[in-house]
Structure 1
Amino acid sequence: MNISHQYKLLPTQAQKAIMNRWLDMCRAEYNYLLAERFDWWEKNRNDVNSCPLICHLPELKDNPNYYSQKRALVTLKQERPWYKDVHSQVLQDCAKRVKLAFDRFIKGDCNGNRSGKPRFKALNRYRSFTYTQITGGDITGNAINLSKVGKVKLILHRPIPDGFIAKTAIISKKSDGWYVTISLADESVPDIKIDVTPTKENSVALDLGLEKFAALSTGKFIDIPQYFRCSEDKCALLQQKVSTRKKGSRAKKLLNRKVGKLHQKIARQRKQFHFEAAGKILTNADVVFVENLKVRNMSKRAKPKQDETGKFLHNGQAAKSGLNKSIADAGWASFLDILSFKAEKAGQKVVKVDPYGTSQHCSTCLNKVPKDLSERWHSCPSCSLSIDRDTNSAILIKKLGLDVSLSIKRSTRKGREAHAVLS
């Protein structure tokens, strides 16, 4: 079983200077290794048969990979002796990060989804380094021994569980200081096996929204706090002050630090709310049905519109930007990850259901009741059901998740209306 704990570090001024210097050197090495990969990719990615026979084929360079770039660190330390001050594991982790970023760009993940082109790290964008091998002896009392940095004090707000062995340590720099994330493993503790059969009694469904954070199939609601909206004016005022300060001045740096701390506070408030909401939901149900939302697609910019002359027309981007900000403030994707994490840890289950059509059908008679997004109340003319729109969707999500009595048929290409039928 693998877990991770994060603790706040209390380094001295000398230790802060060392870690800041390491971050800057690791950032430079990351950018160099990434540029080496891009150089090979741009010059050698075409197949031989795509070139004309009369052209000159230069000698192909060796494809830089994780192992070749890791071996090159020996030459790096000879040419730049100051890199000898950095721990070898920290430098090797730079090569590993480049490999992961480039592989996601070229090959994609296990599902075949490719990420965007990796970007070079600007100043203050490379904010962590990793010790890939630490032992339990490195953590003694309220201090952790970091090689070539020394013993650094930490706030041990929760003890390390008995039997777990420390594997890796990630040192990260945040707006309010330094933190260490320790990965722990215990092979004697088996992974939790989830063997829960969803029924009508032990399951609940929820529909995420912006007026209410979630509507449960039981008829209850979870209010949305909107932490960013509450601090938006304060954040705007700080950013206005930042723009008036001279670039590179100490006053500008201090104000930027205040902006960063404010955003960090908002993120922590939202995360705490997500954990509390997930705990309340999982207390009363063993199986939770949720919508399989594509949050990234939902928060995209509106597509531009043009007339016959090429003039851009109004596309509703001003309203869409406000909607995107509210979606980001709600943090649906983060909440679903936390809900799945807590459920798996407790031996419970989270099942994702296709949300298409769940807001346009009646949960009782299954007839289609078309509604605009502004209509927040569901009134069915067939069965006279009149309930909150989100509650109706949550009940329908639960029925689809149980897959006992219904299935919703989608609209055909001929334009026939979607309808629900009993299976």
Structure 2
Amino acid sequence: MRTAYQYRLRLSKSQEAEIERWLDMLRHQYNYLLADRFNWYEQNRCSINSCPLICHLPELRNNPDYFSQKRTLPQLKKDRHWYKTIHANVLQDCVKRVDLAFKRYLKGDCNGKKSGRPRFKGKNRYKSLTFSAFSKNPIQGKKLNLPKFGWVKMVYHRPIPDGFKIKTATVTRKADGYYVTLSLQDDIVPSVIPIEQVSNPIGIDMGLKSFLIKSDGTEVPIPQYYRKAQKRLKRIQKTVSRSKKGSNNRKKVVTKLGKAHKKVADTRKDFHFKTAKGLLDSHDLIAHEKLNIKGLARTKMAKSIFDAGWGQFLSILSSKAENAGLITKAVNPKNTSQNCSSCGTKVPKKLKDRIHSCPHCGYKVDRDVNAAINILNLAVGHPVGSKAFRVSEPVGGVGKKPTLNL
């Protein structure tokens, strides 16, 4: 099992200067390796199936890949001795990033989706570096020992559990300072509870009026952190646009803008973690829709959808459930809002219709609660409207808490 803990670093002035020097050297090396990839690719490809009789013959050499570029690092340290101060694993991670970016450009990811052409890193655009080799006890008190860099102070607010081993440490520069993300590994895999032994399942329907509504009728209100901070962000952004490019005043305002955006992101993420913990503390199985968030983000509701952060929340929920041995299940959302959760009859509704009222059986409930119950029915393997897993509620009982008959 892999997990990640993040801590804030308290670096001295000299340590901050050294980290910035490392990042700048890694940025130059990244751009050099990426240019080497592009040079070979442009000189050795041909858009047609045959070459002209008169053409430029490039220097014959193998296609640069991860291993061939990694073998150039010893010579790099001889030619440019200042690179000797950087740990070897940090330089190798730089080569790995180039390889990953170029492969996604040519071949795509595991789903075959290709990324855009990799761009060269401008000043202050290379923001992180990764260590992957540590001593037996890299943490002593509130200090972390980074290989070939030394001991650094950190806000050790969350102790690492016994049995967890530090695999990598990524130091990242953010708007309000430096952070380290420790990737931890534990060989103990938690046993997942069998679905037959699930005692308290729940279905949730994600929304924009409320963040989520449970199948038992309760809801979690949506905080809208970005909407509330939008006025202040707009004011700071206007100050940035009026500042002269390259001036110290502009740099200060850009830092202020970055801190304001980070505060919105951090408060949203904290809300997601607390909401996920509340669900997992009360329920063994959580069913949710398999949302096409990228498709929804192309609509007029894009700002509200990004502000809600459904993708981040569902990712946190799935990760935390896996670590706890609980179950999260994504189901196809087709017709979950239209079908009646009591009898299974399809009741067409427009988006403005917020109450589900079935003319066939008379079942009346909030539209989102009806959808949450249908999601739960699909997750446990029952068809929508199955009598074996239906909601017991009097006809016309709007707002009452339904009960599940297992």
Q: TM-score band, normalised by the shorter chain?
A: 0.7 to 0.9
Displacement, 1:200? 8.0
Contact 2:340 2:385 in 1 (8 A): no
Instruction: State yes or no: 1:216 paired with 2:214.
Output: yes
For residues 226-258 of structure 1, the C-alpha deviation after alignment (integer angstroms, 9 at most, x for no partner) is 011111000100111111112122211111111
Q: How does 1:169-248 map to 2 (within 5 A)?
A: 169-187=169-187, 190-197=188-195, 201-248=199-246
For residues 108-165 of structure 1, the C-alpha deviation after alignment (integer angstroms, 9 at most, x for no partner) is 3334344343333233222100111112333222222234433211121122323333
Distance in 2, Cα, partners of 1:76 & 1:329:
45
Query: SS at the partner of 2:202?
Result: strand
Change (3 A) 1:359 1:46: farther
How many residues align? The count is 385
Distance in 2, Cα, partners of 1:53 & 1:259:
54
Q: 1:93 maps to what in 2?
A: 93
For residues 19-41 of structure 1, the C-alpha deviation after alignment (integer angstroms, 9 at most, x for no partner) is 01111121221122222223333
For residues 286-342 of structure 1, the C-alpha deviation after alignment (integer angstroms, 9 at most, x for no partner) is 111111112112112x6xxxxxxxxxxxxxxxxx1xx10110000000000000011
Give me the TM-score of the superposition, normalised by structure 1: 0.84
Instruction: State yes or no: 1:67 paired with 2:45.
Output: no
Instruction: Return the match for 1:359 from 337, 340, 346.
Output: 337
Change (3 A) 1:407 1:106: farther
Distance in 1, Cα, partners of 2:137 & 2:85:
22
Q: 2:267 maps to what in 1?
A: 269
Runs of 4+ in 1 over 4 A off after TM superposition: 52-57, 198-201
Q: Percent identity?
A: 46
Distance in 2, Cα, partners of 1:184 & 1:378:
47
Counterpart of 2:333, as a letter, is: P
Query: SS at the partner of 2:170?
Result: strand
Counterpart of 2:319, as a letter, is: F
Instruction: State yes or no: 1:161 paired with 2:139.
Output: no
Counterpart of 1:51, as a letter, is: S
Which one is further off, 156-165 or 14-23?
A: 156-165
Distance in 1, Cα, partners of 2:23 & 2:286:
42
Contact 1:4 1:182 in 2 (8 A): yes
Distance in 1, Cα, partners of 2:35 & 2:310:
35
Distance in 1, Cα, partners of 2:269 & 2:53:
61
Unaligned runs of 5+ in 1: 303-319, 409-423
Give me the TM-score of the superposition, normalised by structure 2: 0.88
Instruction: State yes or no: 1:398 paired with 2:368.
Output: no
Displacement, 1:382? 2.3
Displacement, 1:186? 4.0
Displacement, 1:76? 2.5
Which one is further off, 128-137 or 231-240?
A: 128-137
Displacement, 1:374? 2.6
Q: 2:351 maps to what in 1?
A: 373
Query: SS at the partner of 2:137?
Result: helix
Displacement, 1:198? 5.4
Distance in 1, Cα, partners of 2:207 & 2:43:
48
Distance in 2, Cα, partners of 1:76 & 1:256:
35
Query: SS at the partner of 1:213?
Result: strand
Counterpart of 2:242, as a letter, is: T
Change (3 A) 1:364 1:156: same
Query: SS at the partner of 1:156?
Result: coil
Displacement, 1:46? 4.8
C-alpha RMSD of matched pairs (Å): 2.4
